[in-house]
Amino acid sequence: MKPIEIADYEVLSAVNDPADIRRLTLPELNRLAQDIRTFIIQTVAASGGHLASSLGTVELTLALHYVFNTPDDRLIWDVGHQSYAHKIVTGRKDRFATLRKKGGLSGFPKRSESIYDTFNVGHSGTSIAAAAGFAEAACLAGDKHKTIAVIGDGSMTTGMAFEGLNWSGDRKKDMIIVLNDNEMSISPNVGALSAHLNQLMTGHTVTRLKTDLKNFLKSIPGIGEQVFKMSRQLEESLKNMVVPGTLFESLGFTYVGPLEGHRLDYLIKNFENVRDLPGPVLVHVITQKGKGYKFAEENSPTYHGIAPFDVDTGKALATSTIPSYTQVFGRTLIELAQQDDRVVAITAAMSEGTGLDLFAREFPKRMYDVGIAEQLAVTFAAGLAIEGMRPVVAIYSTFLQRAYDQISHDVCLQNLPVIFAVDRAGFVGEDGSTHQGIFDLSYLRSLPNLIVMAPKDENELRHMLKTAAQSAFPVAVRYPRGKGLGVDCSETLKILPIGKGEVLQDGNDAAILAVGVTVYPALAAARRLAEEGLSVSVINARYVKPLDTELILRAAQTGRVLTVEENVLQGGFGGAVLELLADQGKSGVMIRRLGIPDEYIEHATQAELRAQYGLDEEGIFKALKALMAGGGQD
């Protein structure tokens, strides 16, 4: 498909903000939806991104901006995977080609990017709680604007979403929750009937009639309250036959739906009716992931988050024969499970993203997907461990943060042999600040009983997993996003000594203590320095906890130590080395720490970020030169 300029789009070219949408006719709105789909497909094909979810919410996005007076009315997205159409119609279409590129548009709603982005998102389940805060603030201020939260059915598996429902239903403040259900299917006949019924049930006449009837029944002397209760029971019984809204209504919400999410006429009419309903309302909308692009419709998980691809074939543009760390993890876990029937795997709605889809095919009865519920995953693993299993919890670093209390209280406090496979640790690249895995070394190493490891390459990852599976303690193994280095992974699995690093190169003038993905760049930098006649020791730390005291003290004897990590400096590996040397009374050692400063990291490629923060070979080389010239720790 040949790229099309914005000026070539029939309707999209004239839409610069939601006010333009509100001037369109229904046929023009439908054409705008087609334009936006084509625009999203072409852009994501070039830049990568979250395709299937955004294709599924085009009509929903247009209907919301058409009916509600955004940005005065507050529109809050959950996660933000589905917000590309929202970005396009809120003044960002001319910059949409910069999506997820350094200095360009974020892949998620971001308050600093647009007044239409009312809340920063990236993690699931936050929208209802945030909307509750917005609605409460509006009430306190006496404002009349509307608050609308859009949440996917997957995000509704989070405990936080149900906490928000429970609170909001009880508070009775005016707010609208749109449940974007893209896992169910709905036939045209059912969709038409349901849409018609809800247009009737949300209309002003019927709403007023229901209120008048309620008051009349209650006013009947002696039996009024009983008759009213019987009428409510009959209403609920009939409603259960056609709509699945009893749960939400029992929580205090007026339930509307399910609505066919790709019919703009249905959506607009129902949102117009819902807009004027008092109290909390939940609108249930059925959409199709990948709508309008056959490859995404047929295989939405693959096109959820995808690298650049060819539009005509749907195939990725860049392929590599080198397996990713995630793939190596998945294959190694299968090997461990074949050796030990106590090994089980747990994921939080990310079986493919964590490589556990391979495990699920091999051991379906030993694979557990708990939904987007990281806290549940960790405490569930604790229960399994107490009963003699060897649970492996595979969760991205950024999402594991959500279960910190459970790691501490339910696993480490009880000293249980749970293995945390911390995927996407360090820079994750284009997903940006909400997804960078740069805090795990800091938040994990402070916990008693927990062993924390980071491999220098994919083969060492295999051995670390074997070591963790044989440990009687909780273990976290953190590894990066993306392909490995292509090292030989045919070696028989072996157990590594706990708390022992590896000397890769001896030297007398200085020492580098590196961990994880920084090890090989550090080795390359040291070898460049050798060309200038300087001798630098390079140590693969392997363990952030417990540290290899003997090796670190030996490194300190050179008088100059450089620590390197792809983690924030506060509380990280370098800080642990400083603490050890201080405890050992080793003064007079010049130390420089390389890592990530005290800030959130925006989106760019992993290579760009490593260069920006001096964690590639060139950056480490420059830091070594400065250290040799006398520049120690600031």
Q: Which fold has domain 325-478?
A: Rossmann fold (3.40.50)
283 with 259: CB under 8 angstroms? yes
pLDDT in tens, 194-213: 454 455 455 555 455 556 55
Residue 616 CA to residue 608 CA, distance in Å, equals: 9
- Strand order across the 175-181 sheet: 74-77, 147-152, 175-181, 280-286, 254-260
Tell me if 393 sits within 8 A of 418, measured CB to CB: yes
Give the residue among 201, 293, 272 at the shortest CA–CA distance from 26.
Answer: 272
Q: What is the model's pLDDT at position 527?
A: 94
Comparing CA positions, the residue from 590, 577, 620, 587 lying closest to residue 509 is: 590
Q: What confidence tier does 159 reach under pLDDT thresholds 50, 70, 90? A: confident
Residue 188: pLDDT above 70? Answer: no
Average pLDDT over residues 470-475: 96
Does residue 150 have a pLDDT over 70? yes
Question: Which of the following CATH numbers is that of domain 6-298: 2.30.30.280, 3.40.50.970, 1.10.3720.10, 3.40.50.150?
Answer: 3.40.50.970
**pLDDT, average across residues 577-606:** 93
Distance CA 86, CA 50 (A): 13
* 566: pLDDT strictly greater than 70: yes
What is the number of residues in the chain?
Answer: 634
Give me the pLDDT at residue 214, please.
Answer: 62
**Which pLDDT does position 329 carry in this prediction?**
97
pTM across the whole model? 0.86
Average pLDDT over residues 216-240: 60
1, pLDDT greater than 50:
no
**Backbone region of residue 355 per phi and psi (left: phi > 0; alpha: psi in -120 to 50; beta: other values):** left
Average pLDDT of span 333-338 = 97
Give the SS3 label for residue 76: strand
Tell whether the model's pLDDT for residue 20 goes beyond 90: yes
Nearest to 541 by CA among 606, 453, 464, 612: 453
Residue 393, pLDDT score: 98
Query: 91-105, 137-151, 313-327, 500-514 — which one is most confidently predicted on average?
Result: 500-514
Other CB atoms within 10 Å distance of the CB of residue 137: 13
Nearest to residue 292, comparing CAs of 265, 311, 316, 310?
311
| pLDDT for residue 235 is more than 60 | no
Kindly report the average pLDDT of the chain as a whole number: 88
Calculate mean pLDDT across residues 467-483.
96
Judge whether 6-298 and 325-478 match in fold. Answer: yes
Per-residue pLDDT, averaged over 478-506, amounts to 95
Q: What's the rounded mean pLDDT across residues 543-564?
A: 96
Residue 155 banded pLDDT, cuts 50, 70, 90: confident
Q: Domain map of the chain by residue range?
A: 6-298, 325-478, 502-628
Residue position matching structure tokens 């970005």: 87
Class of domain 502-628: alpha beta
Distance (Å, whole) CA 162 – CA 177:
12
Say whether pLDDT at 632 is over 80: no
User: Side-chain half-sphere of 421: how many Cα atoms within 13 Å?
Assistant: 33
- Which is more confidently placed, 234 or 271? 271
**Structure confidence at residue 8 (pLDDT):** 74
**Of 533 and 610, the one with more pLDDT:** 610
pLDDT value of residue 267 = 95
Across the range 226-249, mean pLDDT stands at 60
Catalytic residue set: 289, 374, 402
pLDDT value of residue 630: 78
What per-residue confidence (pLDDT) applies to 362? 95
Structure confidence at residue 510 as a pLDDT band (50, 70, 90): very high
Asked whether 559 and 589 are in contact (CB, 8 A), the reply is yes
Strand partners, 568: 596
Query: Is 543 in a helix, a strand, or coil?
Result: strand
Maximum Cα–Cα distance across the chain: 102
DSSP secondary structure, 419-432, as one string:
EEEEES-B---TT-
Residue 218 has pLDDT above 50, yes or no: yes
Least confident residue range of 56-65, 200-209, 329-338? 200-209
Is pLDDT at 559 greater than 60 in this prediction?
yes
Q: What is the pLDDT of residues 427-463, one digit of tens each?
A: 998 888 889 999 999 999 999 999 999 999 999 999 9
